[in-house]
Structure 1
Amino acid sequence: MRAPSAGGALDRARARFGPVALVVSAGISVQFGAALAVMVMPRTGAAGVVTLRLAAAALVLLLVCRPKVRGYARADWTTVFWFGVTMAGMNGLFYQAIDRIPLGPAVTLEVLGPLALSVVVSRRLVNVLWAALALAGVTLLAGHGGGGFGGLDPLGAAFAVGAGGMWAAYIVFSARTGRRFPQADGLALAMAVAAVISLPLGVVEAGSDLVVPGTLALGLGVAVLSSVLPYTLELLALRRLPAPTFAILMSLEPAIAASAGFLVLHQGMSLGDALAIALVIAASMGAVRSQVGGSSAQGASGSSRYEGVASGEVKESVARGRLGSE
């Protein structure tokens, strides 16, 4: 009997951990892109960064997808419009938040939106416990005094929570758009809507600074790190990774954001802050796992109402949605 070769073991390890590494790398890219956006804000303001980010992402999607604009019903266009509105709102609120509070707590507060969506649409009592755990983390984060993440700017925190609410709406409209439009066509059209909505605000805040070559280059860097690169990595990962695993890995992003804030922006983090973020991450992971368990128990009838990242039906649309997220 032949012993397994070292090459075979290596191949199995790559097959098991390769997709995980792709998702984690995508998260790192997104959060370091957000850190770069903070560095661009003194030049353009938060609204200017949003305009550059969405315009670049819309241009990439329209060139790559070349979506058709004929043959759709009014309801289809209504869905795309509101998808674009939620995309613009999510980005606008999030960038306003990280202009005022550190990146780690901003992302931690933002993920409360998808978590709340999971709790609201779930019929499982256990998700109420996960919500309580997340609330404990947020309370610890907001109440911690002194240095680090203590004393968060109330307006910045409100913007982050608002971004989370828009993220929850974004998940719903992403799923609906994915069912009405082929491939990424709906996302490309919605991104164009979001870019048009954000343009006047960016022009008012940044004016001609938006077209300074150096600023344009930095804005392109934000778009690549926050959109194009993670989009590619996540689509590669989702070909070999179950949607629930993907969702759980995305729950790690508050920790990645805190690391990016510390390394790039020199934003401190205390032990209490780390514990608060860990509680929210644990709650998010638990909610995903319990939601998946509930969906499995219901069988293949599709009776689960949660249209988020745990839904296999829309898992690729969620990865494509990285172009529109923070």
Structure 2
Amino acid sequence: MGGVVGLQCGAALTTRLHPAVGPAGVVTLRLCIAAVVLTALWRPGLRWDRTTFGIAAAAGTLLAVHHLSFYEAVDRLPLGAATTMEFLGPFAIALFGSRRATDLLWACLAAAGVVLLSHSGMPLDAAGLAFATLAGCCWGGYILVGKHLAERVPDGRGLALAVTWGALLSLPYGIAQAGIRLLDPGTLALAAAVAALSSVLPYTFHLEALRRVPPRVFGILTSLEPAVGALIGLVLLGQHLGVAQWAGVTAVALASIGATRAPSRAPKPATPDRPSGTPDDLTSRTPAE
């Protein structure tokens, strides 16, 4: 939830950055500043095996492509529609990771809520829909790869390396779109706040969450982003919602609560200890014992 709130607060701030540096410039500043902060905090180093490097690079690539495609989508679509398409990735993770009928119910309820949130009669730009769909695929992929990264690296060093790699990938696009405007002091100050809210804190929280919950649950919880975004938009940007959209907020919240309620499991019966000296116990010992 900390990651969700941070992402949406940062998204509210980016509305002031878009006119200055464009979507690619916003992504470049976000990732570059976040990379500097995370590297200074964790000092990841380079003494890792190839597999860990590969997982971190894959996570960073997915982050960079997700950010670039999502902000390009937001530049062409209403935010609710872009977020709805982005949710297709986490929804697929929740759907294919389901093991019970109720899991499917919560995933479908969350999807219905996101559709209600994005309800609009406006025609949607085809290129914007394509960018938003790509963002959803990348976000779903990041959930799976991020789970492996969180399990393989027990602290924030893997995240620091992934974000640094993503920043390097996004840098050429940001320079091509914004050029010298990326170095404007006012822009840098606002971008630093966006990077802290939208990258440093959320990605750290996401990895900590992925250490503790299955990707299915994480995928449904990320569906809270449109709902939280709607509330932040109301408070910070004065964006009002209709009845159908508030119904969507309620549906998504209920789905997230239901998905995180683990079923009670009966404890496994304890296996009685064998008394020492039984035949099995003796045959399992080495000659030295």
- TM-score, normalized by length of structure 1? 0.68
- The residue number in structure 1 matching 2:39 is 62
Deviations 1:32-74 (A, max 9, x none): 211111220111110100000000010001111111202x222
1:161-310 aligned at under 5 Å gives the runs: 161-229=133-201, 234=205, 251-289=223-261, 292-293=262-263
User: For residue 82 of structure 1, what is the aligned residue in structure 2?
Assistant: 58
Q: Is this contact kept in 2: 1:251–1:285, CA < 8 A? A: no
Q: Deviations over 1:130-171 (max 9, x none)?
A: 3433443455456642xxxx5554543443343232122111
Output one character per residue of 1:181-226: Cα deviation in whole Å (capped at 9) or x when no partner.
Answer: 3411111111111001100111111111111111111111211222
Q: How far, CA to CA, are the matches of 1:231 and 1:194 in structure 2?
A: 13
2:75 counterpart of 1:93: no
Q: Distance in 1 between matches of 2:9 and 2:190?
A: 13
| Structure 2 unaligned residues grouped into runs of 5+ | 269-289
Distance across 1 between alignment mates of 2:257 and 2:132: 20
1:273-294 CA-to-partner distances (Å, cap 9, x unmatched) read 22234334433443444xx439
Equivalences, count = 262
Task: Calculate percent identity across the aligned residue pairs.
Answer: 44
The residue that corresponds to 2:28 in the other structure is 51
- The one-character-per-residue Cα deviations of 1:88-121 (angstroms, maximum 9, x if unpaired) are 1222222223333344454444334223202102
* Letter matched to residue 49 of structure 1: V
Deviation of 1:251 after TM superposition, in Å, equals: 4.8
Residue-by-residue CA offset, 1:66-90 (whole Å, 9 max, x unaligned)? 11202x2222221111111111122
Q: Once structures 1 and 2 are overlaid, which stretch shifts more, 209-218 or 191-200?
A: 209-218
Whichever structure has more helix as a proportion of its residues is 1
Taking structure 2 as the reference length, what is the TM-score of the superposition? 0.76
Give the greater-gyration-radius structure (CA). Answer: 2
The question of whether the paired residues in 1 share the 8 Å contact of 2:7 and 2:197 is answered with yes
Instruction: Sort the Cα spacing of 1:68 and 1:229 in 2 relative to 1 into closer, same or farther, 3 A.
Output: closer
Equivalent pair of 2:66/2:136 in contact (CA under 8 Å): yes
Per-residue Cα deviation, 1:248-295 (whole angstroms, up to 9, x for no partner): 876533222012233444444221222234334433443444xx439x
Structure 1 equivalent of residue 284 of structure 2: none
Deviates further, 219-228 or 152-161: 152-161
For residues 28 and 179 of structure 1, the distance between their equivalents in structure 2, rounded to whole angstroms, comes to 24
